[in-house]
Amino acid sequence: MEKKIYLDVANQDKKALIEEALKIRAEACETLGSDIIASLYNIVTGKKVDIEKLE
């Protein structure tokens, strides 16, 4: 039972972090432009991202 509570709290924290990251990404796209964000993502992760998905 105690382990389940820890998992529930961890999942809630994870969801909150994801929501905050999505808000930050949206603000960054508005400020810098989605092409800049896509370029930065590529530099940091080495992965390409579809710009249309960011908008």
**Assign residue 47 a region: left if phi > 0, alpha if psi is -120 to 50, beta otherwise?**
beta
What local confidence, expressed as pLDDT, does residue 8 receive?
Answer: 82
Q: Domain range for residue 45?
A: 2-54
Domain count, the chain: 1
pLDDT (tens digit per residue) in 1-52: 566 777 788 888 899 999 999 999 889 889 998 888 889 889 999 988 877 7
Structure confidence at residue 29 (pLDDT): 86
Tokens matching residue 23: 């808000």
| CA-based nearest residue to 14, from 2, 26, 24, 6 | 6
Which residues are CB-neighbours of 42 under 8 A, at least 6 positions away?
A: 48, 49
pTM: 0.60
Backbone angles phi, psi at 50, to 5 degrees: -75, 115
